[in-house]
Amino acid sequence: MKLQLSEKQKKLFIESIVWKQIVSYFLDTKNIDVTQKLASIQVRAKKVIIKVQGSALRQELQLHEMQIRHKLISYFESIEEKIEDYVLVYR
């Protein structure tokens, strides 16, 4: 199902779904709740900026980026976007 969203709504949707999928991925694969370590998710142009507390989580995110991207594919397709067009930036 395709969602018809404004650009602002798309931005909020992407920020929310990236947050949820990161938390879900770490709970499912490592049984770790990273909610307290995620500071923010921001979308700027075609960048998704993921701010975290601690370099260990940043390194884990980089290590598992492909698996997280794979979880995001269907959500991005629902708003007629491609995850491949976005760069994930970890700070």
Q: Give me the CATH number covering residue 24.
A: 3.30.70
Report the number of distinct structural domains present in the chain. Answer: 1
Domain encompassing residue 74: 7-90
**Looking at the DSSP assignment, which residues form a beta bridge with residue 40?**
51
Nearest C-alpha neighbor of 78 from the set 5, 24, 16 = 5
- What pLDDT, on the 0 to 100 scale, is given for residue 64? 96
Q: What does the pLDDT average to over 16-36?
A: 96
The full length of the chain comes to 91
Per-residue pLDDT band for 3 (boundaries 50, 70, 90) equals confident
Q: What does the pLDDT average to over 4-23?
A: 95
**Alpha helices of 31-91 — where are they, by DSSP H?**
55-63, 65-78
- Token digits for 36? 């307290």
Inside any domain, residue 15 = yes
Q: What does the pLDDT average to over 3-23?
A: 94
Segment 37-54, tens digit of pLDDT: 999 999 999 999 999 999
CA dihedral sign, ordered 7, 12, 47, 31? negative
Q: What does the pLDDT average to over 44-70?
A: 95
Q: Which helix (H) or strand (E) holds 53?
A: none
Inside any domain, residue 70 = yes
CA distance 51 to 49: 6
Inside any domain, residue 58 = yes
Inside any domain, residue 2 = no
